[in-house]
Structure formats: C-alpha cells, structure tokens
C-alpha cells in the first residue's frame, strides 16, 4: 500500500513464497550470523539453565527455536508465514516443538509461557506497539520478554554515512518496497518511553552489530569475524556504543 506521495506505507510482512530466500539472506551472511550469535550469547547469560516454556514469536524458519530446544526448553514457534514454518519443521524435525501459524496477536491464551522471544519482528509490523502490549499480556508475573528490533537511529546514521540524503529526507521510506528490507524501523528512545509505564523492569540493554556494518574494509567482516564478535560483546552493552547497534536488544521481566 502506498500513500498519496507514492511512498510505501507500513503493513505486516509475511515471507510466504520467499521463505527460502529470506532464510539464506539472513543466516547465510556475516550480518545475520552475528546478529543471531550475539542474541544467543546474551540469552545464555540471562536465562536460568532449568527448562522453561518459551514462545518464539515471529520466529520465522526456527533458528532461535533450534537453539532454545537444544538447551532443553519447551518451545512454541509462531510465525505468520506458513512457508517459513514449513522450513522450520524440517530444521526442527528431531525436536519436540509446538507450532502456531498466524499473527502473534493470535497466540493462544492456553499456552502459558515462562518467557517470550521476539527478535527482529517489530520492524515488519504495521502496529508494533500493539504487538508488544499483547506479548506482555501473555506473560505471568515474573515472566520475561527478550525483544530486539531494527534501530531507526542507527539506520539513519548509516545512510548519512553512505550519502543517501534523499532517502533521509523521505524519513527512510522507499518508493518501491523491497520485501527483504525492514519497513518500520523503531527509535530506541520511543520504545523505551513506551515501556516506561508498563509493569516491567528492563534488566539488559545491548546494541547488536554496533561495529560490523560500519567497517571500512568489508573483508574484515569475514576474515576477522571472531575478533569482531569479541569486540561486539565487549562494547555492545556499553554507553555510547549500544546506541549505534543496527538492532537493539532489551531483556525485561514483568512485575506484579
């Protein structure tokens, strides 16, 4: 859908018919690999080792569900795309995972989780804050939410460095939608302001890919990947670097 200026308006994104391309584009690149490995690293630090019931909301082709299931957690994998869930079932066929196909707002009330993972989903939704509200409603007191989202401030900063000034002037909106590019990046301060009055305590804030995307020599993304990952972990939770992450990661617990 486009507005009166011919610019693409936000709407929920499904990856039906391009699920394989989506999976390869995300996890077949250093940027996708690094994002995934950093989120796994932080969850390993933040979660108790005992088995938990976890909803992977908008979990796509099941990469995070795979990590969680291997660690002994019971997972409900949700996605709006049937094609993504088909790939996920193939990836997770040896594991005991439940599945739910549909918008995350349609997640069943009777599958009560200890925690929810919602990574790189909000930027594909028309109403991301309503989605967060629904996820918080599903959590019990003491339940946790791991939330990551595409950082609009960092996206703007990167495009300023690239000299994409017309794109900046259009407030990062495109005339012709590219289905593999997020269409609704969020400003971290706006997300934090939204969460401030909610019954949650934020226990962790990190930038994801604070340095990877800005490297002058792109070959370093592959040739010095391990060193780069070490630097991301060392500085990704440190002010001011976490504000530069292409994604922001928040981990919060619900209060009574």
Known binding-site residue numbers for S-adenosyl-L-methionine: 35, 58-59, 79, 119
Residues 228 and 187: their CA atoms lie apart, in Å, by 25
Answer whether 146's CB lies under 8 Å from 207's CB. no
Return the H-helix or E-strand segment holding 250. Answer: strand 247-254
Residues 250 and 148: their CA atoms lie apart, in Å, by 6
Mark 41-61 as b/e (b = at least 16 C-beta within 10 Å). Answer: ebbeeebeeeebbbbbbbbbb
Nearest CA among 78, 174, 65, 80 for reference residue 125: 80
Answer whether 12's CB lies under 8 Å from 182's CB. no
Tell me 18's DSSP state: -
For residue 25, count other CB atoms closer than 10 A to its CB: 13
Return the H-helix or E-strand segment holding 221. Answer: helix 220-223
> In DSSP terms, which residues pair with 208 in a beta bridge?
247
Known binding-site residue numbers: 35, 58-59, 79, 119
Residue with tokens 């079932």: 89
Residues 38 and 251: their CA atoms lie apart, in Å, by 13
């Amino acid at each position: 859908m486009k507005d009166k200026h011919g610019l693409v308006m936000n709407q929920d994104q499904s990856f039906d018919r391009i699920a394989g391309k989506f999976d390869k584009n995300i996890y077949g690149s250093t940027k996708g690999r690094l994002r995934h490995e950093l989120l796994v690293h932080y969850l390993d630090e933040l979660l108790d080792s005992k088995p938990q019931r976890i909803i992977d909301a908008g979990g796509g082709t099941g990469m995070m569900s795979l990590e969680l299931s291997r660690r002994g957690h019971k997972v409900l994998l949700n996605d709006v795309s049937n094609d993504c869930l088909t790939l996920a079932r193939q990836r997770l066929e040896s594991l005991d995972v439940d599945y739910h196909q549909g918008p995350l707002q349609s997640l069943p009330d009777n599958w009560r989780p200890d925690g929810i993972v919602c990574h790189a989903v909000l930027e594909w939704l028309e109403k991301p804050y309503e989605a967060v509200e629904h996820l918080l409603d599903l959590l019990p007191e003491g339940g946790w939410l791991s939330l990551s989202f595409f950082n609009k401030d960092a996206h703007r900063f990167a495009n300023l460095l690239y000299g994409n000034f017309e794109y900046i002037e259009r407030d990062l909106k495109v005339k012709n939608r590219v289905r593999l590019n997020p269409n609704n990046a969020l400003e971290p301060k706006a997300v934090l302001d939204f969460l401030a009055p909610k019954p949650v305590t934020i226990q962790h804030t990190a930038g994801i890919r604070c340095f990877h995307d800005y490297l002058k020599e792109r070959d370093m993304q592959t040739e010095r990947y391990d060193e780069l990952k070490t630097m991301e972990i060392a500085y990704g939770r440190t002010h001011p670097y976490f504000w530069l992450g292409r994604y922001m990661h928040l981990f919060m617990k619900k209060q009574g």
